[in-house]
Structure 1
Amino acid sequence: MARGLLTTASTLLLSMRALADDWPFMTFQSAQINPPKMEVKKTGTTDPGYIFVGPRGNQPEGIAALIYDDDGNLVYQGPTEVTANFKVQKYANEDVITFWAGNMMDLGFGYGTVHILDNTYREIYTVTLPGDFVSPDGVARDSYIDLHESHVTTRNTLLVTAYNVTQFDLTAIGGKVDDYMLDAMFYEIDIATNEIVYSWSALEHIQAIPLEQSKQGLGEDYGTVEKPWDAYHINSVELMDEGYIISLRHYWSGYYVHRNGTVMWRLSGERDVGDFQIDDAGIFSWQHDIRVYNQTSEGMTIDLFNNANTPTETVAPTTGLSLAVDLVNRKVTTLRTMNDGEDVIHSVSQGSYQLMSEQTNHVFLGYGSITKVKEFDANNNAVLTAQFGEENAVASYRAYKFQWRATPFWPPTVVAKRSSNSATLHMSWNGATEYDNWAIYTASSPDSMEHTFITSVKRTGFETAGDVRNLRTPYLQVVARKGNVPLGSTVVPVA
């Protein structure tokens, strides 16, 4: 591996400062937003759901949490901000939306907060991580949650990652005795109270995870407060029965951490490394998003996104991997490998693996630094490919596909333009999923209770256009409906 060059290149790819991007953007009459167009290609039967992405690096107005349907129509755009891990999760047995928002550092991590919204898009919890952290820019922050993880557990807690600049003796890897590095940390936080219920630091377990085993080169310019060395690069945390599994990208490994803090075992992507014998098909490197299923005392299934590449070296196609982990015999057997042979992708950073359903066994992969997402069926065939920006110019740290039902707490938005006795309307309701048509009524004033039905118009994508003829009132009421059931309305003047 070209380890010495990786440090600079990988952080550049993760920070994704705006590059040349000629990708088309959507425009609407009724909403002042400009999301990137999503191009969708279907080659088979897909599972139902909406696509969740958080693009950055395109244009400022395109940096937001975005939901599209799987035909490429926009459903929702959130506030303009840098987001990550935008997804649907279960909290208190209810579907909620969660996402990280904050400041991205050029070094490949971030500082921010995690937002939890109900199905009206009201924010019900805001999770923060205050504390005595050292940042490369020396700026104190109210919250130090990193962008890489924000996973809601079955005990209604939130697992998050954090990076802390720490002075450490790096002579063992060719550095100085007083150099600086990033400590990889994770926390479990009670969502309702924002209290920390568990914390863990990699540097406190240096004997179990030696710095010499890191695949990340120190580099000539690294080892200062402003450019600390990132030995570990923690990017996911998964709850286990008696602890946690963490993904350390720069060790090509997942580590099982007991709840007492002890590192119990290492599952490495390299052969003859770590505590398991892995088969040839299961070899992985520079991975993201380790997830655990079907855990027993004898074994489990581990899914992960296998980048297999770096910004300085193309090695192999990026794949989704599902592995059977035998805890008794310490063997790893590959169950599934997902790679679209018609569209081979080399993702050098970021990415996600989502088992959409244990019934259909469809898997959704977000390719991180490559602005594509793919859905695979149970036979590992790609049945959907979607793209939302120029490759290597735009990124979405992770991407997901979820079923989601929402009725926003804000009203629909309508623009009405008169032409003589007629009017053209453009109608949208940002974030709404449940309506299928618009009903249009006359109104004599904004507060009038006497409305007369004129016509209905079938919903078409994010924004619907409709015409009204023989208009004799100065106002119109527009109602978003499911069948004949009203869900939200707006009264607008006809200019």
Structure 2
Amino acid sequence: MTESSRVSRRTLLLGAGGAALVGVAGVGVGYALGHDDDDKTDKSAGATEAAEAGPPKFRSRPDLRTLPDVTITTAANGTVGGFICLTPASGAGLWGPLLVDEKGSPVWFRKVPDPATVAIDFKVQQYRDQPVLTWWEGTIGGTGGQGVGQGEFVIADRSYREITRVRAAGSEQADQHDFVITPRDTALFWVYDPVPWDLSALGGPKDGVLHDGVIQEIDIATGKKLFEWRAREHVTLDESYAPLPQGESAHLPYDYFHANSVGLAADGHIIISSRHTWTTYKIDKSSGQVIWRLGGKKSDFTIDEKAKFAWQHDFRQRRDGTYSVFDNGAGVTKVHDYSRGLVMKLDEAARRATFVAEFVHPDKLSAPTQGSFRELADGGAFIGWGQLPYFTEHNADGTVRLAGHLPLDNQSYRAYKADWTGQPLDQPALGLHVDGGNVIVSASWNGTTEVSKWRARSGAQPGALQGAIEGDRSGFETTLTVQGTPEYVVAEALDATGKVLGASSAIPVRV
């Protein structure tokens, strides 16, 4: 793998009815569409399919018709600010990383490539001392394991350009469960490796297959593998709570470990979570030896009853030295009545784990799969409820200060909240239609985080647009009304000081 900074090639496609479709490869497509005064739908290249199904959700971006709505059920009150990172997944087929604001309005979305490609684990990280967006793209379940991914990781800059893609070393493909950029600009992630294995001692086939959980550390710039750790060399099959595949599935890989998080402890050693052993592990970064096990059948710690977890995800060390985990409490079996964000204090010398706090959804949700639990800057927490399409932001005392959800037929493997400043390189998108003798202007700009107002200028010629109206930004798409039917309209995005951040193409108004 070689690192590249891919400066996108600008293309201009002219469609039927005078509509212009303006895009930047790798950044996202921006639309500039003509009017529609007959059936109130955009009749232009790129909008024909949308027209057949009725008005699009966003007139400036008809391609986002099936983008799922995010509903806020508890309005933000005393939150830390920032944007919410989601990876909606449903049968609609519009899969990709989605950034929304605290009102649930889309800020940026990028559809991942077809066919059958999904996005997972979308978040903000640091690479080369700069904020970046990262996510996983690939397919899931191709090897017969439960939730096993085959794909690669994307790193994108503030302008949503791909900096590079991180791939597993050798012929293997990266699993989706986690991707951590370390302070030395390396990447930690998992690979699921199916290996021949005699499972007869467990009642399985002698010529069975085992899914081995493999950690790889890759130098992002060069693709060189710096470290590798294999679960089967350190964790025996008798630690697992997962049942063997049975019947016609008996020769599918036995996913005894099911790794789902990897990260660094404060001392530089590696900490991981294994869902199917109900155990989190600390691994010596130099030797690969297991320093300790927390939870499961062979725990090195005595654990408070209220601190015991099962089928867990997202094991991390917090700033004050405590540890957190998303305790699903449910999976193949249901162990707890509800899922929770769990905080524990570990006395590594005395091998004692004590309960500190739990963060619970007001509806006491139970998430059988997936989920995330992260500390926020003020001591609060943000939780993604995994298989269930909910997310919550909590105060340090556990009370909820923001709550919302994707449509109920969706899910998002994790959900995060983070600061982000987006500066897209493409043009704002513009949709026009005539209603009641006036021009209705619909303006948006996928990825911008700095637009405060929109201005619509109109006139007889593109170079002589005199009329101007302004309005506050109102979600992903803002609507303005231009009186009468001028010949041309352009939309300008303004920041809080009135500075023009970007402008659409000048589009003719066709009556």
2:215 to 183, 186, 190: 186
- What does 1:133-212 correspond to in 2, within 5 Å? 133=172, 144-205=173-234, 209-212=235-238
The question of 1:493 aligning with 2:511 is answered no
- 1:36 Cα offset (Å): 1.2
2:148 to 89, 94, 109: 109
- 1:132 Cα offset (Å): 3.6
- 1:400 Cα offset (Å): 0.7
- Per the alignment, residue 351 of structure 1 pairs with 371
Change (3 A) 1:439 1:372: same
- 1:46 Cα offset (Å): 2.1
- Per the alignment, residue 5 of structure 1 pairs with none
Identical counterparts, % of pairs: 31
Change (3 A) 1:257 1:365: same
- Per the alignment, residue 218 of structure 1 pairs with 244
Structure 1 distance, partners of 2:84, 2:268, is: 33
2:103 to 58, 63, 71: 71
Listed one character per residue, the Cα deviations across residues 413-435 of structure 1 (whole Å, up to 9, x for unaligned) are: 00122458631111111111100
- Per the alignment, residue 48 of structure 2 pairs with none
SS at match of 1:60: coil
2:397 to 373, 379, 382: 379
Listed one character per residue, the Cα deviations across residues 148-174 of structure 1 (whole Å, up to 9, x for unaligned) are: 011111111111111011101222322
SS at match of 1:212: helix
Change (3 A) 1:337 1:194: same
- Per the alignment, residue 263 of structure 1 pairs with 290
Structure 1 distance, partners of 2:299, 2:440, is: 66
Greater Cα offset, 115-124 or 381-390: 381-390
Listed one character per residue, the Cα deviations across residues 181-218 of structure 1 (whole Å, up to 9, x for unaligned) are: 1011111111122221111111222xxx2101100011
Change (3 A) 1:125 1:444: farther
Q: Is contact 1:88–1:404 with CA below 8 Å preserved after alignment? A: yes
1:414 to 427, 430, 444: 430
Q: Is contact 1:457–1:466 with CA below 8 Å preserved after alignment? A: yes
- Per the alignment, residue 495 of structure 2 pairs with 482
Supply the RMSD in Å over aligned alpha carbons: 2.1
Q: Which runs of 5+ in 1 are unaligned?
A: 1-24, 134-143
Structure 2 distance, partners of 1:314, 1:331, is: 22
The alignment of Structure 1 onto Structure 2 pairs a total of residues equal to 442
Structure 2 distance, partners of 1:312, 1:379, is: 30
Change (3 A) 1:222 1:119: farther
- Per the alignment, residue 46 of structure 1 pairs with 79
- Per the alignment, residue 279 of structure 2 pairs with 253
Q: What is the letter of the counterpart of residue 101 of structure 1?
A: E
- Per the alignment, residue 127 of structure 1 pairs with 166
SS at match of 2:177: coil
Structure 1 distance, partners of 2:461, 2:96, is: 36
Listed one character per residue, the Cα deviations across residues 4-54 of structure 1 (whole Å, up to 9, x for unaligned) are: xxxxxxxxxxxxxxxxxxxxx981111120211111122643221211110
Structure 2 distance, partners of 1:371, 1:102, is: 21
- 1:58 Cα offset (Å): 3.7
Q: What is the letter of the counterpart of residue 365 of structure 2?
A: I
- Per the alignment, residue 15 of structure 1 pairs with none
Change (3 A) 1:45 1:60: same
Q: Is contact 1:175–1:223 with CA below 8 Å preserved after alignment? A: no
Q: Is contact 2:346–2:354 with CA below 8 Å preserved after alignment? A: yes
Structure 2 distance, partners of 1:410, 1:224, is: 51
Structure 2 distance, partners of 1:118, 1:305, is: 29
Structure 2 distance, partners of 1:316, 1:97, is: 35
The question of 1:234 aligning with 2:250 is answered no
1:290 to 287, 296, 315: 315
- What does 1:308-387 correspond to in 2, within 5 Å? 308-313=329-334, 315-340=336-361, 342-357=362-377, 360-387=378-405
Give TM-score, length-normalised by structure 1. 0.85
- 1:394 Cα offset (Å): 2.6
2:455 to 436, 439, 445: 439
Structure 2 distance, partners of 1:376, 1:469, is: 46
SS at match of 1:250: helix
